Structure 1
Amino acid sequence: MIIQNLSLLNFKNHTERNFEFSPQINCFVGNNGVGKTNILDALHYLSMAKSFLGNTDLNNIKTEQDFFTLEGHIFNGEKIDIIKIQQPKEAKKIIKKNDKSYDRIADHIGFLPSVIISPYDSNLISDSGESRRRFLDSMISQTDSDYLFNLIQYQKTVQQRNALLKSFAKNRYFDANNLEIYSEPLIKFGSKIFLKRQEFTNSILPLIQNYYEIISNGNEKVTVNYQSDLQLSVQENEPNQNFRHLLHENLDKDRALTYTSKGVHKDDLLFEMNGNSLKKMGSQGQQKSFLIALKLSQMNRIKELTGKTPVLLLDDIFDKLDDSRVSQLIELVNQEHFGQIFITDTNKDRTENVVKRINEESKIFDL
């Protein structure tokens, strides 16, 4: 999938911009505040129909304007499709493909897959397990509709069980048989989620290790461990039995806390380097190298499972990485045919030295 061009109108700090892209590497360079990341965000809109920065659609309309419009021409190897996104201030967002509006915005997701690597990824290391679970769920759900169904049903069941536990506490009453109604669906859906997460982690780990070794020149050894209550409960091969044991063992605790304290909704990924916590022992450069390896592995899996090569968006990759690691990264993604790449940087000379040496067909846009 190649984005041939992009047009922006009243998007964030850009009144009007038009770009013709290289099918390989494209770089946006300029001082902080000129809107480099905003252009990447516009490209992310073409892919996911939303901002990767978490901004609401209305907040992305340029100040004192009534709408924004984004348009991109996408070449899929056979034909060109035109994606147009319009957000009026007083109406809902409209997404069109070849002048035909989608009935549901969700129907657009997956047409133009993308992966973004940005400074905001650091929350995968620094935040609680919730961020890492979201990463797992997002990755698996994109390629497995059954997983998404099981996840939704499990989350609903946990909410219902928690509501009943709170009701018991409020009314100073407890009915174990009534609470038991939620055990079977928790076990059914939770066990399937556990197995899928375990399978995903096992499949992506060798990719992460390979990419990290290339980016870091083999100086450190990283690993990812999937941690779940279902693994730690009892020595059983059957997750259903593990989950049943967990619920029974923690019944009194759940009653006191008024929420379900154990289950796959507490799962986590442990990131380690040379046997130590990456969060505690890794430098900022090492952590960023790991996150890049994680996202490249994500791209690899999307391509493997969907047959589409995602667009790669690299926001401020020179930050906290030395030039050697950046060169390794750019050369890696170029050699392995990851597809089209978009990069932001503040230093034009540095970008030209790295990118032009690797690919003469790259384009540099000076903002």
Structure 2
Amino acid sequence: MRIGELTLKPFRNLQDLHVDFESDRELILGGNGRGKSNLLEAISYLSIGKSIRGARDREAVPHGGKYFDISARWHDGTRDRQLRVFYGQEEGKQVFLDGAALSRVSDVLSLFQSVHFSPEDVTLVLRFAAQRRRLLDILICQAESQYLHALQRYQRILTQRNRCLRGWRATPGPDELIGWDVQLCRLGGAIRHRRMRGLIQLEPDLTRFYRRISTAQEEVGVVYRGQVVSELDDAGLLSAEVMAEEMTTELAEYRDRERHAGHTLCGPHRDALTFTLDGVGADSYGSQGQLKGILVAWKMAEVRFLEGCSGQRPVLLLDDVFSELDEVRSAELVALVEDFDQVLLTAPRLPGEGICDRFSQLRMA
């Protein structure tokens, strides 16, 4: 899978830009504020239909403007395709594949796949549990549309259950709450099961890539809901039905506290997902360089995960990835991405000679 052309008319500070990606290894150069990060964000919009930064669509509209328009020509492994994402303050958001409008924006998932790294994500993702859950959820959604639908249904039921809890004033729980519990636990069990199965698939590649990038000897790991992922496999993974039963028990234990809190205190929306270094939480004890190494390794593992699901390798987007990396780790990173189909890097200035020799250069004025 590779992107051949990208046109922005406009997007953020990029007013009218057309880019031909002639190489599978592109180094995008330019000073701060030139739009390098925005260019990669626009490409990721084509993959997930929204900002990878978590920004609202209207924030990507240029100041004083009324819309943004992203279009691209890409090759899906068999033929060239055209993809377009348009957002207007009056029209809303629309996605077009080969000129035909998709019925839902979420239908863009799994069409053109990309994996995006930004240094801004290092602190945001690795310091905050909600962002770590989002990191995993976005990945699985790209692989399976059913997972997105499960998340959406779970959120709708969670909203209804929370409304019911806020209105609960009688001593016994209302029958309505029991009805929401059944639906919430069924979906919650399915979500937890798919998350854990995804982590089991990701963990070996995460470990392998981190060993290559890191100059130290520490081992990276993942813990989800208190379970060390490396100690599990598909054969030992509890079924979605069993996980649903576990959640039913959790809700019963939290019932009194939820009544006073007025919202649901357990479930996939509250689950702990932690990266570790030698068994210790990286979010608490990892240095900035270690955290960056974890996230870069995770992103490379994402590419392998999506490849395993679809049979095609996503485009790898690495924004300012060389910052805080010494020459040895930078060279190792470049060697690692040699095995990926298409890689787009950004940097404010030319990195080392060995890196420049392997990449075509695109300068943003």
After superposition, what is the alpha-carbon deviation per residue over 1:256-295, rounded to whole angstroms, capped at 9, x for unaligned?
Answer: 3233323333211111112222122211111000001111
1-side partners of 2:320 and 2:218: how far apart? 23
What's the % identity of the aligned pairs? 29
Corresponding residue for residue 233 of structure 1? none
* Cα offset, 1:314, TM superposition: 0.6
- Choose from 314, 317, 337 the match for 1:333: 337
Q: Are the equivalent residues in 1 in contact too, given 2:2–2:314 (CA < 8 A)?
A: no
CA spacing shift, 1:28–1:165, aligned 2, 3 Å: same
CA distance in 2, matches of 1:267, 1:61: 34
Structure 2 residue aligned with 1:363: 360
Match of 1:245 in 2: 249
Distance 1:149 1:83 in 2: 22
After TM superposition, the structure 1 stretch with the greater mean CA deviation from structure 2, 87-96 or 305-314, is 87-96
The whole-number CA distance in structure 2 between the counterparts of 1:247 and 1:64 is 48
| Structure 1 residues 276-315: aligned runs within 5 Å | 276-315=280-319
Inter-partner Cα distance in structure 1 for 2:57 and 2:174 = 47
Give the secondary-structure state (helix, strand or coil) at the position aligned to 2:266: coil
Report the CA distance between 1:330 and its aligned residue: 1.7
Q: Does the aligned pair in 2 maintain the 1:67–1:87 contact within 8 Å? A: yes
Any conservation in 2 of the 1:228–1:267 contact (CA below 8 Å)? no
Q: Does 1:181 align with 2:179?
A: yes
Give CA-to-partner distance per residue, 1:208-253, whole Å, 9 cap, x none: 1111001114622111011169xxxxxx994344333323333222
1:48-59 to structure 2, matched below 5 A, reads 48-59=48-59
Give the alignment of 1:1-367 within 5 angstroms.
1-64=1-64, 67-88=67-88, 90-122=90-122, 123-127=124-128, 129-169=129-169, 173-176=170-173, 178=175, 179-217=177-215, 219-227=217-225, 238-334=242-338, 336=339, 338-348=340-350, 350=351, 353-357=353-357, 359=358, 362-367=359-364
Range with greater deviation from structure 2 (83-92 or 285-294): 83-92
**2:230 alignment counterpart:** none
Structure 1: 4+ residue segments shifted above 6 A = none
Amino acid corresponding to residue 270 of structure 1 in structure 2: T
CA distance in structure 1 between the aligned counterparts of 2:79 and 2:145, rounded to whole angstroms: 28
User: How many residues in Structure 1 have an aligned counterpart in Structure 2?
Assistant: 350
Q: Which runs of 5+ in 2 are unaligned?
A: 228-237
- Structure 1 runs not aligned, ≥5 long: 230-235
Q: Which TM-score applies when normalising by structure 1?
A: 0.85
Deviations 1:112-155 (A, max 9, x none): 1011000232211112x222222222222333344344433333
Output the CA distance in 1 between the equivalents of 2:106 and 2:51. Answer: 15
Higher-Rg structure is: 1
Contact 2:46 2:108 in 1 (8 A): no
Partner-residue secondary structure (3-state), 2:10 = strand
Distance 2:110 2:3 in 1: 15
Is the Cα contact below 8 Å between 1:60 and 1:68 reproduced in 2?
yes
> TM-score of the superposition, structure 2-length normalised?
0.86
State how far apart, in whole Å, the 2-side matches of 1:259 and 1:197 are. 23
Judge conservation of contact 1:3–1:23 (CA < 8 Å) in 2.
no
Distance 1:66 1:247, change over 3 A: closer
The offset of 1:254, in angstroms, is: 2.3
Contact 1:69 1:86 in 2 (8 A): yes
* Distance in structure 2 (CA, Å) of the matches to 1:325 and 1:107: 38
What amino acid does structure 2 have at the position aligned with 1:343?
L
The answer to whether the Cα contact below 8 Å between 2:222 and 2:276 also exists between their aligned partners in 1 is yes
Q: Bigger shift: 245-254 or 59-68?
A: 59-68
Alpha-carbon distance in structure 2 between the residues aligned to 1:242 and 1:333: 41
Give 3-state SS (helix, strand or coil) of 2:324's partner: coil
The 10-residue stretch of structure 1 (257-266 or 142-151) with the greater mean CA deviation from structure 2: 142-151
> Counterpart in 1 of 2:232?
none
3-state SS, counterpart of residue 187 of structure 1: helix
Q: Secondary structure at the match of 2:187?
A: helix
